[in-house]
């Protein structure tokens, strides 16, 4: 059996990494950037940290700041229109998953115009040309969109989110600088942090997992387990560790897939505009419990990575329970809501949510094959 790994050409990590942006642009002989971001990041001057570098180097750019959480087909198409209007030749994505995903879709469609309806990009699509070059600069420590081959777009007319999987969409450069994440409020640090933990745990137990990605995911779990609480409290070193941890998780899950947590989270975002990290965080420990009997010894290693002591002395069931409880405890400690009703889920929507989750591309990677009825029961139990 063969395995494939797709990663960025170049990535920079650590405080001050953003200073490498200009040299990457100049050595690649790019002419004009379209910066893809959201209005809040402009308003709070996070984008200024990038544009000041570009201005000082006399590098040309324009800004598209209309990205919203759970970006829609229209968001992508308007961004594509702007890219063409300003005659840009590369993209700089600044933000969390939403700007990163929007930039990926823009870049793919510009070079593969037959997909300009956006929705035809759903699933694994054999695009012919790589995306317009993307330099990805995350401002949250969670999505790892800067290193993944995946992106998620919302079809508002059909009230659903769809996942696109395409190696051609991966950014060529990723710059992971904790200084770009300094404006994250504690609630966002918590949600994106458990989002990263979800990526690591689902990537570790997914059907496509293998030794190399297992090593990445376990290291990510370890870093998150020891750093997320302090990151939420504002510790600068912990924020930097979380920035690295979420990237490591992205290196893994991008190449092996995810599972039912993401399958069930995507409809929540489409129906209620729920922040993706919050949805994943609420669902994670419950779906871990649902999957437990289908994971062999892997929960023992998750427990070990989460800091549970004396795991080798525990029975298999005890080890599994300790891993699940460690995630429940972490959620509680960082202020994640406990139930889906707290984020606006409606019981009458459960049949439609369950059908959407059942059809989601991520669900197929789950270690336990979930039926439509079981998914509906899980939504109800977590309600």
Instruction: Output the DSSP codes for 13-39.
Output: ESTTGGGGHHHHHHHTT--EEEEE-BH
Alpha-carbon distance of 101 to 251, in angstroms, equals 16
Alpha-carbon distance of 155 to 174, in angstroms, equals 27
Side-chain half-sphere exposure of 136, counting CA atoms within 13 A: 35
Q: So what's the pLDDT on residue 1? A: 85
Report DSSP state, residue 292: G
Q: So what's the pLDDT on residue 41? A: 96
194 shares its domain with 162: no
59 shares its domain with 175: yes
192 shares its domain with 307: yes
Torsion angle of alpha carbons 290, 296, 302, 304, nearest 10°? 130
Domain that holds residue 329: 186-382
Alpha-carbon distance of 210 to 215, in angstroms, equals 9
Please check whether residue 2 lies inside any domain of the structure.
no
Please check whether residue 4 lies inside any domain of the structure.
no
46 shares its domain with 156: yes
Please check whether residue 117 lies inside any domain of the structure.
yes
CB 109 within 8 A of CB 83: no
Q: So what's the pLDDT on residue 165? A: 96
Pairing of strands 160-165, 150-155: antiparallel
Alpha-carbon distance of 54 to 59, in angstroms, equals 5
The ranges of the chain with pLDDT < 70 are none
Helical axes 372-382 vs 276-291, angle rounded to 10°: 110
Rg (CA), the chain: 20
128 shares its domain with 252: no
CB 372 within 8 A of CB 354: yes
First-residue to last-residue Cα distance in the chain: 41
Assign residue 250 the CATH number of its domain.
Answer: 1.20.1090.10
Q: So what's the pLDDT on residue 183? A: 85
61 shares its domain with 100: yes
CB 152 within 8 A of CB 164: yes
| Cβ neighbours of 76 (radius 10 Å) | 26
Residues in CB range of 325: below 8 A, 6 or more apart: none
327 shares its domain with 233: yes
Assign residue 126 the CATH number of its domain.
Answer: 3.40.50.1970
162, 180, 198 - which closes a domain: 180
Counting every residue written for the chain, the total comes to 383
Q: So what's the pLDDT on residue 78? A: 98
Report DSSP state, residue 340: G
172 shares its domain with 258: no
CB 194 within 8 A of CB 180: no
Q: So what's the pLDDT on residue 348? A: 97
112, 145, 180 - which closes a domain: 180
Alpha-carbon distance of 268 to 147, in angstroms, equals 24
Alpha-carbon distance of 162 to 263, in angstroms, equals 10
150, 180, 210 - which closes a domain: 180
Report angle CA 376, 379, 383 to the nearest 5 degrees: 140
CB 224 within 8 A of CB 245: yes
121 shares its domain with 146: yes
Report DSSP state, residue 163: E
Pairing of strands 150-155, 90-95: unpaired
Ramachandran category for residue 8: left, alpha or beta (phi over 0 → left; psi -120 to 50 → alpha): beta
Residues in CB range of 319: below 8 A, 6 or more apart: 297, 299, 300, 303, 311
Whole-model pTM above 0.75? yes
Q: What is the tally of structural domains in the chain?
A: 2
Q: So what's the pLDDT on residue 182? A: 84
């Amino acid at each position: 059996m063969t395995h494939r790994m797709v990663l960025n050409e170049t990535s920079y990590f650590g405080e001050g990494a953003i200073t490498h942006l200009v040299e990457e642009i100049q050595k690649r002989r790019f002419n004009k950037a379209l910066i893809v971001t959201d209005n809040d990041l402009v308003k709070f001057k996070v984008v200024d940290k990038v544009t000041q570098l570009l201005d000082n180097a006399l590098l040309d750019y324009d800004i598209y700041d209309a990205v919203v959480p759970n970006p829609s087909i229209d968001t992508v198409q308007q961004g594509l229109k702007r890219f063409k209007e300003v005659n840009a030749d590369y993209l700089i994505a600044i933000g969390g998953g939403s700007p990163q995903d929007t930039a990926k879709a823009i870049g793919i469609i510009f070079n593969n115009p037959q997909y300009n309806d956006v929705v035809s990009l759903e699933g694994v699509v054999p695009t012919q040309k790589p995306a317009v070059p993307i330099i990805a600069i995350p401002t949250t420590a969670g999505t790892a969109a800067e290193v993944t081959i995946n992106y998620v777009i919302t079809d508002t007319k059909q009230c659903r989110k769809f996942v696109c999987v395409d190696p051609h969409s991966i950014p060529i450069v990723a710059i992971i600088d904790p200084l770009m994440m300094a404006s994250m409020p504690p609630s966002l640090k918590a949600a994106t942090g458990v989002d990263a933990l979800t990526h690591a745990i689902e990537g570790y137990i997914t059907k496509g997992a293998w030794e190399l990605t297992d090593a990445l995911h376990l290291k990510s779990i370890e870093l998150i387990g020891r750093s997320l609480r302090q990151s939420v409290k504002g510790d600068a070193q912990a924020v930097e560790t979380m920035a690295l941890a979420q990237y490591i998780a992205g290196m893994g899950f991008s190449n092996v897939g995810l599972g039912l947590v993401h399958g069930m989270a995507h409809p929540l975002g489409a129906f209620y505009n729920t922040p993706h990290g919050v949805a994943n965080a609420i669902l994670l420990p419950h779906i871990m419990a649902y999957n437990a009997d289908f994971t062999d010894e892997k929960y023992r290693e998750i427990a070990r990575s989460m800091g549970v002591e004396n795991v080798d002395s525990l029975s298999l069931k005890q080890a599994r329970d300790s891993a699940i409880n460690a995630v429940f405890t972490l959620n509680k400690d960082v202020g994640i809501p406990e139930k889906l009703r707290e984020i606006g889920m409606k019981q009458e929507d459960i049949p439609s949510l369950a059908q959407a989750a059942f059809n989601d591309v991520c669900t197929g990677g789950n270690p336990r094959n979930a039926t439509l009825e079981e998914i509906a029961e899980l939504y109800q139990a977590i309600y």
